[in-house]
A and B are shown apart, each in its own frame.
Chain A
Amino acid sequence: MKRVYPDKEYCIGCHICELACLTAHSKSKDLILAYTVERTSDGLSPCKHVHERGPTCVALSCRHCDEPACVAACISGALQKDPESGRTTYDREKCVGCWSCLMACPFGAIARHPLENKIVKCDLCFDRPGGPACVAACPNLALKQEER
């Protein structure tokens, strides 16, 4: 499957991927509304996070592992592996907010939703024409979606 791979040699830490992710997962699909309104009213937050140490940066999100620790740990069946697409899928309705996935994922790629007992996790923008918004927005090709 095609995954998103971050390259810290090219990442400039601009956070544009986070904003693109935020917009792609917003109701309005508008950056300004997503950032100024939905972020506070709905707790909208990005699945992608830029990690920084000094001049080094890298943008990380769910790896969609072949054998995901989050799926093994999920007590409700909200997290599953889709055998066809290879994605690690999240069913928000089924999630009970037990945080088992957050504990089990050694990549720290799962976050608590700021307002609800739900998680925030990359869905690879599966329903977005053109693929992941973060990859499309990255100005320095530090994020690539590829088959490896």
Chain B
Amino acid sequence: MPVAKRKAQEAAMTYVIIGNGVASIGAIEGIRRQDQKAKIVVIGAEDSAAYGRPLISYLLAGKLSVDRLALRSEDYYVRNKAELRLGTTVTGIDTAKKAVTTDKGETIAYDRLLIATGGIPFIPPIPGVQGADIYSFTTLAHAQTLIELSSKIKRAVVIGGGLIGLKAAESLHDRGVGVTIVELAPRILSAGFDEKAGALAANRLKKVGIEVNCGVTAKEIQRNKNGRVKGVLLTDGRFLDCDVVVVAIGVVPHSAIAKEAGITVERGIMVDDKLMTSAKDVYAAGDVAQAMDQLSGERRVVPIWPNAYNQGFASGRNMAGAKQPYQGGLPMNSISFYGLPTISVGLVNPPENDPDFEVHAVLDQEKEIYRKLVFRDEKLVGYVLVGDIDKAGMYTAFIKFEMKLAGEAKDKLINAGPEVFLWPEKLFDETWNPAPAKAAR
């Protein structure tokens, strides 16, 4: 390449990031590892700088004030030379002209584009679900609406017993609202937890007075003649009086803008091992992306916080030319219910009677302690901890580094718990005490 042309390219690099959640923060930090000079433009639809989205349940519960939510310090964007455009929605992507248009009428050109638009609440087609008094719980604005509302309402029904639903329920309960949870699956937390862990969490919620109904869901949301919610008719025929309904079935990738631009979207935006989409120089990360999953070896949408940051970081680095593939995500959730901590990592609900898997579970109902380990091919592939979570990270190591655990080592892990001496010598040395030239970072 002629020198003049190369210089012009180097000088002109502009990264545009659509979305201002944790994937976006990861991307800024990934880009800056590689490239200190480039221009970064972050376009966020919400009105605030990136915040700890899961903290909205702390806000709703009254445990945190709104000024504590910011994920990075006030000077973060300035320090990182990132121009932040808030309250702005991208209306179109032109992958041929390499530009995006916004609802403010601007056209912004990019050299590399990251789509990190996250997820949007999934609203199932229940009769009566459209109209007043129906709420989601995934944004700061949702939390603020529910805070305002909480002093005016007496009863709420939360549809969905996943993490978002349970946290909405707990926080509304803390605000003095009577809450009933309805969950279609036979247990709460069906995705990341098993029956026993779900039951321990459900018991904590029931103890404080939150009603938990599993195996049922809303058949119809009934309204009075003014259109306001009266209550929810359940599939088992019961009727629950309530003033509001919080729908927390889950989130779906917010991928419309990519689809319209002709970018390949399956469940989420398809990305390769550098997080690039089907369009050249357009990347995707976070809850909107369908990216490599470590344990299945397939591309999946796994909308969890650490994956979003890691994908953002990897995409940022690769956009800046690093050529370092994304390692693949690992499902993981850590959440407490009224002081009962729970952690779930990896594959925790293997298919029943599948001889490829081996499960070891120990429950102490009295002490509310539970541990479940799931093995496949002599490797740990998943675990659940309730109550006693202190060794969680050490269990995660065996999954993440895919350590073989044959014979004695596996027995030790099962009987005595994880410890660093079960690691292969080579991995131990490379990570903890590497030879100077080989230091693993």
Contact = CB atoms under 8 A, between A and B. Distances in A.
Interface of A: 5-8, 51, 53, 56, 58, 60, 63, 65-67, 69, 71-73, 75-77, 80-81, 83, 94, 96-100, 102-112, 146-148
B277 interface: no
Give the contact-size bracket for chain B.
35 or more
B433 interface: yes
Contacts of A75: 52-55, 305
B397 A108 contact: yes
A104 B306 contact: yes
Contacts of B26: 72
A58 B420 contact: yes
A50 to B, nearest CB: 11
Given A53-B419, A99-B389, A104 B396 contact: yes
Contact of A100 (B305, B390, B420): B305
Contact of A72 (B55, B313, B390): B313
A104 B432 contact: no
Interface stretch (B101-109, B123-131, B330-338): B330-338
Interface of B: 26, 29, 32, 52-55, 58, 63-64, 68, 70-72, 305-306, 309-310, 313, 332, 334-336, 341, 343, 345, 389-394, 396-397, 400-401, 418-421, 431-437, 439, 441
Given A72-B306, A73-B309, A108-B393, A100 B421 contact: no
A76 B71 contact: yes
Nearest to B390: A112
Contacts of B434: 5, 148
A73 B329 CA distance: 12
Given A65-B441, A75-B54, A103-B393, A108 B420 contact: yes
B316 to A, nearest CB: 12
Contact of B433 (A7, A67, A77, A111): A7
B336 A106 contact: no
Contacts of A148: 434-437, 439
Most buried by B among A6, A58, A105, A108: A108
A106 B397 contact: yes
Nearest to A146: B436
Given A53-B421, A106-B397, A108-B391, 12 more contacts: A5-B434, A6-B432, A51-B420, A76-B71, A83-B32, A96-B64, A97-B336, A103-B334, A103-B392, A104-B393, A110-B393, A147-B436
B72 A102 contact: no
B341 A107 contact: no
Contact of A69 (B68, B306, B341, B421): B306
3 A-B pairs with least C-beta separation:
A66-B441, A106-B397, A108-B394
